[in-house]
């Protein structure tokens, strides 16, 4: 409410008609009240960050296990391919 009073005084000092000054001050107050509704407190922010961190840790663990599984599969496939090539070369060229 103090912002509205300050804005009203400033508008009246600029020789604006009082009705217009009150309307503009009310619009400023309504806008600032609407913006205050969107703000979060520090505790809400900390709780949200903690939840986000825990979700991120779970996601990282899942990606890590998937990566290890794919690396093992690729390594096994590559080893089998090399053994096949060696078998072919030894069988046909020795």
Give the per-residue SS3 of the chain: CHHHHHHHHHHHHCCCCHHHHHHHHHHHHHHHHHHHHCCCCHHHHHHHHHHHHHHHHHHHHHHHHHHHHHHHHHHHHHHHHHHHHHHHHHHHHC
Among candidates 1, 7, 49, which has minimal Cα distance to 25?
A: 7
pLDDT recorded at residue 25: 78
Handedness of CA 84, 86, 89, 94 (dihedral sign): negative
Write phi, then psi, for 38 (nearest 5 degrees): -80, -10
pTM, full prediction: 0.48
Per-residue pLDDT of the chain (94 residues; tens, 9 = 90+): 455 677 777 777 778 787 877 788 788 888 777 777 778 888 989 999 999 999 999 999 999 999 999 999 999 999 999 999 999 999 998 7
């Amino acid at each position: 409410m103090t912002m509205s009073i300050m804005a009203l005084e400033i508008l009246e000092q600029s020789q604006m008609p009082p009705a217009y000054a009150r309307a503009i001050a009310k619009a400023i107050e309504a806008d600032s009240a609407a913006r205050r509704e969107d703000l979060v407190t520090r505790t809400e922010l900390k709780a949200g960050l903690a939840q986000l961190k825990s979700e991120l840790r779970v996601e990282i663990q899942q990606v890590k296990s998937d990566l290890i599984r794919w690396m093992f599969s690729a390594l096994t496939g590559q080893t089998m391919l090399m053994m096949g090539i060696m078998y072919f070369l030894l069988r046909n060229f020795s």
